[in-house]
Structure 1
Amino acid sequence: MELHQLKILRELADLGSVNAVAKALYVSPSAVSQHLAQLQRGFTAPLTTKDGRRLVLTTEGKMLASAAAQVASTLAEASARIQAQDQDRQTPIKIAGFHSIGQTVFAPLLNWRERQLPPLRFSDEDVSQQDFPALTSAYDLVLAHRMPHTAPWPQHHIAVIPLAFEPLDIALHQDHPLAVFDELSPKQLIGERWVVSRSGYSPADVLETIAALAGSAPTIEHRVNDYATAGSLVEASGCLGILPRYTARKSLSDTVTLRPIKGLVSGRQIDVLIRAEHLHREPVMDVVQAIRQSIQTLVGA
């Protein structure tokens, strides 16, 4: 059993396919398969099995992948103690985040003056909720959101650092007849026209709940994931939208206002997802602290 074989098994657990592992590690799929075969020779119980055309982990394979993550964390902790922290501080920290958090957090991090941060490299990732954990394979930190009623993040693969709960509100033009109300019930809302995200994203999930409570299907005119674009459509079309209370604020026109939904706890939990080995890197944790304080400032604004 070798470390690079354990790494490949772990990546298969996180990424879900041999091709995805090969792409992430810059090797061929056949090389991935060969290393997995070599690892299998050390065990009588099968570590992988075929699920259709996909190679997936067995229960024993998942156990070993979890152990591989612990090994990586232990090695990273030892390495962090050996290496000079100022050397690690020159290594760029790669950060991924969903669009609206990127619009509100990325730029302020570059201007962070409380503590000298390492170089930062940002990427926006517009993925469905279930796809955020796999991003930790390519990034040091992943800013992710999760609806409260859904399954928790897979913490046997990653560490989770909670940041804030962000309500999702109804967005409407200030001249819309419903704007006179301080909060809006599903019965008031369901007869309106909507601009909402594609299925599988938070706003669409909330609209489905509103429809279920109201007992009627919504009229959806526009499917837009970008909140700035959704806000502009709300302003121009008279449609209603569902937008996050804090992170969409900067992108909205003054004529678009937000109202909470009566009788419905609608919102999303914003977290940092990180592989356990990065928890031992002081520069990475400095960035996490800067992100946390930026979010606290945003929520309190």
Structure 2
Amino acid sequence: MDHRHLALLWELSERGTVTAVARATHRTPSAVSQQLRTAQREFGVPLVEPDGRGLRLTEAGQVLAAGGRELARVTERIQAAWDGFLGQPTGRVTVAALPSAASVLLPGVLDELSAGAIELQCADVDVAESAYAELVGDHDIVIAHSLTRRAPAGTEGLVSIRLAREPLDIALDVDHPLARRTELTPDLLADQEWVGVPIGFPFDTVRLAVEAANGAEVRVVQRIRDNLLVEALIEGTERVAVLPRFTCPHSPQVVLRPLRVVDAARYIFAILRPDRAERLAVRTVLDSLQHHASRLTQGLPGSRP
């Protein structure tokens, strides 16, 4: 039984298409297809079957893909034990992170790990909540957010660790008439112009909650993903927006006010594939992320860059 065939079947079960597997494993689609045919000859049963224009695993293929997943976990567990024996975690750890969370977590993590043998490679990603789970195939740790206490959709079968709960506040220019209040209610926001986020992004649920409380739609004039750009678009205006409390604002001209009645918060998660969660280097980075997230939520010195 060739363990490479098990790994290939698992990759196909995770990524869904031969093209995606080829891209992730730095092979051509024809090479992946050839290896699938070789695997089928080895096991003597069909492992994949046509599914539209693509392929899907047969029941036999699913059994072997599960074996590939378990084999990967065992391999990483052995590597972790060996790293522990040597006394030092080593290797590259890739992190894909939501930019606003990354801006306050990763500087401290990079500084903490700078004296060790771990190479931390970071990427910033800002996608809809349901798309974060897709990133774990290409990154060791994905830092995502959810508007519920549960991990983002699609993370079933993955390792999900909650790093922090971050309140979501209403952001206003410091001279906005509502900025004089210590807290806001949905009725005060009914007639305001909003700078929102794309539909499907977590912060949009706050806008929906305000509309539900008021029984009427608010006026969204822009839909923007980047928090810095959101700040720029409300600065010097009477527009309002939703921004996270710990990681924004960056401009002294923008203030945050809590929203009463509506329970507005996001939950920041680290999500990983189970096999990669076994690696000592990955666990070391994860421990550092948890440490700096706790400092952030407690408002401790050094918790923001």
TM-score by length of 2: 0.85
Are 2:152 and 1:154 equivalent residues in the alignment? no
Q: Which is further off, 28-37 or 53-62?
A: 53-62
Distance 1:184 1:2 in 2: 62
The 8 Å contact of residues 165 and 297 in structure 2, kept in 1 or not, is answered as no
Aligned to 1:190: 190
Going from structure 1 to structure 2, the CA distance change for 1:117 and 1:205 (only over 3 Å counts) comes to farther
The one-letter code sitting in structure 2 at the alignment partner of 1:299 is T
Aligned to 1:276: 274
Going from structure 1 to structure 2, the CA distance change for 1:221 and 1:5 (only over 3 Å counts) comes to same
Aligned to 1:221: 221
Are 2:69 and 1:69 equivalent residues in the alignment? yes
The 8 Å contact of residues 48 and 61 in structure 1, kept in 2 or not, is answered as no
Shift of 1:231: 1.1
1:27 counterpart SS class: coil
Among the aligned pairs, what percent are the same residue?
29
- Residues 11-26 of structure 1 mapped to structure 2, 5 A cutoff: 11-26=11-26
Shift of 1:142: 1.2
Distance 1:101 1:7 in 2: 33
Q: How many residues align?
A: 297
Going from structure 1 to structure 2, the CA distance change for 1:258 and 1:63 (only over 3 Å counts) comes to farther
Distance 2:155 2:78 in 1: 25
Distance 2:61 2:171 in 1: 47
Distance 2:240 2:228 in 1: 14
Shift of 1:186: 2.4
The 8 Å contact of residues 161 and 271 in structure 1, kept in 2 or not, is answered as yes
2:91 counterpart SS class: coil
Shift of 1:46: 5.8
Structure 2 residue runs of 5 or longer lacking an equivalent are 300-305
Shift of 1:261: 2.2
CA RMSD between the two structures:
2.7
Going from structure 1 to structure 2, the CA distance change for 1:128 and 1:12 (only over 3 Å counts) comes to farther
Of the three residues 289, 296, 301, the one matched with 2:294 is 296
Shift of 1:287: 1.3
The one-letter code sitting in structure 1 at the alignment partner of 2:285 is V
Distance 2:167 2:50 in 1: 42
2:255 counterpart SS class: strand
Shift of 1:226: 0.8
Shift of 1:143: 0.9
Aligned to 1:125: 125
Distance 1:135 1:66 in 2: 20
Of the three residues 259, 263, 266, the one matched with 1:265 is 263
Are 2:175 and 1:175 equivalent residues in the alignment? yes
Structure 1 residue runs of 5 or longer lacking an equivalent are none
